[in-house]
Amino acid sequence: MIQINNIKFNYGNGFNLDIKNLHIKNGEIVSIIGPNGAGKSTLIKLISKILPLKYGNIFIDSKNLKSLNLKELSKLIAVVPQEFNTIFDYSVKSIVETSRLPYSKKFDFFTENKEDENIISNSMKKTDTYKFKEKSFSNLSGGEKQRVMVARAFAQKSKILLLDEFSSHLDPGHTQYLLNIIKNLSQKENLTILSVFHDINLASLYSNRILIMKDGKIIKDGTPNEVITKKIIEDIYNFKAEIIIHPKYKIPQVIFQ
C-alpha cells in the first residue's frame, strides 16, 4: 500500500511537484503516463527515497517513509530505474545478487545461503538473463540491461515494484513476456505495481488504473476506459489521436491520426 499526503517537491529550477492525495492499494497495477517533464520519474524517486521529501508524507504499508532506513525500505520497495550504469565492471550475476543485501546480516556482495541462490537464479531465468549471468553488465545492450534490472527487482522479493519506463529498450517479445510475468506476480502474490509508461497502449493493456501527470500534478486518475479518451489524450500530449478499442480486451488503444 502506498499513501501520499500533500507532498511538494522542487529542484529549485521552476518545476514544482504537488500531489495532494494518492492511495494505491495492495495488489493494484497502476500506471503513470504524461508528457516529458511532467514529474513522473520525480514521483518514483520520491516514493523510493532517492530524492529527499521535505514537505508532506508518504506511507508505505502504513510506515512513514521518513522513518524507514534503506534496508527496511528495500524489503518493501524494489525499483527498476529508467537508466542504470555501474562505475565498476560487475558481472550480471553480481548485480542481481545485490538485491539480497537487505536480507543479509552483514554487508556482503556474495550470496550467503541456498535460498538466496535459488531466488537469484529463478529471477534470472524468469527474465531470460541467466544465459549471460557471467557477462559484464556494462557490455550488455540497453534491453538486456533492463532485463537484468527487472531480475534484480524480482529477487528483492519486495511487496511493491516501482518501474520507471522499464520497457523503453525492450523488444515487443520481451515486453509482452515480462509484463505478463509482472501481472501474474501481482495477482498471485498481491504485488503492488506502480509503473511509468510512455507507451499509452501498454499502460492501458496492463493497468487497473492510470494516473495522468502534467506540470507536477496528477490531473486524471481512473480506469483505462475513463482516462484514455480522445479529448484527454489530445489535450495532454498536444497531438492528433484516434482511439480504437482492443478487439480482445475491450480497452482503449491510441493510434496516430
Ligand X SMILES: Nc1ncnc2c1ncn2[C@@H]1O[C@H](COP(=O)(O)OP(=O)(O)OP(=O)(O)O)[C@@H](O)[C@H]1O
Give the interface with ligand X as residue ranges (CB under 6 A): 11, 13, 15, 34, 36-42
CB 38 within 8 A of CB 213: yes
Contacts 24+ apart (CB under 8 A), 12-18: 15/39, 15/42, 15/216, 16/215, 16/216, 17/42, 17/43, 17/46, 17/216, 17/217, 18/216, 18/217
Task: Please identify, using beta-carbon distances, which residue of 15 and 90 lies nearer to ligand X.
Answer: 15
Of the candidates 182, 230, 219, 220, the residue with the CA atom closest to the CA atom of residue 202: 182
Residue with cell 534491453: 143
Rounded CA-CA distance 52/12 in Å is 14
Yes or no: say if 251 and 223 are a contact pair by the CB < 8 Å rule.
no
Q: Among residues 124 and 161, whose Cβ is nearest to ligand X? A: 161
Q: Dihedral of CA 79/83/86/91: which sign?
A: positive
Using the minimum distance from each CB to ligand X, give the nearer residue, 42 or 48: 42
> How far is Cα 221 from Cα 199, in angstroms, rounded to an integer?
17
- Smaller CB separation from ligand X, 111 or 204: 204
**Residue 195 pairs with which residues in a beta bridge?**
31, 163
Shortest reach from residue 161's CB to ligand X, in Å: 17
Q: Shortest approach of ligand X to residue 92 CB, angstroms? A: 26
Q: Please say whether the beta carbons of 211 and 33 come within 8 A.
A: yes
In the complex, the smallest distance separating the C-beta of residue 162 from ligand X, rounded to whole angstroms, is 12
Nearer to ligand X, 18 or 112 (CB): 18
Q: Give the shortest CB-11-to-ligand X separation in angstroms.
A: 3
For ligand X, give the closer residue by CB, 43 or 193.
43
Q: Is 248 exposed, middle or buried (0-12, 13-18, 19+ CB in 10 A)?
A: exposed
Min. distance of Cβ 89 from ligand X in angstroms? 26
Least gap, CB of 34 to ligand X (angstroms): 6
Pick the closer one to ligand X by CB: 157 or 198: 198
- Please state the separation of Cα 24 from the chain's center in Å: 14
